Amino acid sequence: MKTCIYPGTFDPITNGHIDVVKRGLQVFDKVVLAVADNYEKKSSFSTEERVSMAKEALKNFKGKVEVVSFNGLLVNFMKKNNYSIILRGLRAMSDFESELQLALANKKLSPNIDTFFVMTDVKYFYLSSSLVKEFASLNADINDFVPKNIEKALKKHFCR
């Protein structure tokens, strides 16, 4: 069984992330979506909230997608759980630079680990969790950007 790990902040998960999962499943039998429990990066939702929102949003992929959280170094978490492939999505050129840096750094830390990139769908080219949160805070329609449960959670978060 070919498994990959899709790490990220997922604050919250968007349709762009879900599209990356779908594309990953065209190549891998299973995608483990790993929510980073990162104290350094200030997130709007707690790790538990981000995990449960992602689980609900991905419930249709039963058996093919697992949602977990991790803290500390990704490569250590991967070694401990026997994962060797990281899945990441690429949007603009700016993503490329930081993703290249991350992929090379991870490879330096653990030479057996490789990163597999999928290109964004043009529909999600501009989509990010930050944009969705900004839109939600301004009461804009975010129906096309996130699943229903995330839309509800964001509305509640911004008290609208």
Among 4, 5, 9, 142, binds ligand ADP (CB under 6 A): 9
Tokens of 43: 């997130």
Note whether 47 binds ligand ADP by CB under 6 A. no
Give the Cα separation of 115 and 84 in Å (integer): 9
Stretch that binds ligand ADP, among 58-66, 69-77, 85-93, 132-140 (CB under 6 A): 85-93
> Letter for the amino acid at 122?
V
Catalytic pick among 2, 41, 42, 62: 41
- Would you call 91 a catalytic residue per the annotation? yes
d(CA 151, CA 36): 21
Q: Does 43 bind ligand ADP (CB under 6 A)?
A: no
Residues in contact with 121: Cβ distance below 8 Å, sequence separation at least 6, in sequence order: 16, 19
Interacting residue ranges for ligand ADP, rule: CB under 6 A: 8-10, 14, 16-17, 20, 88-89, 91, 95, 120, 124, 127-129
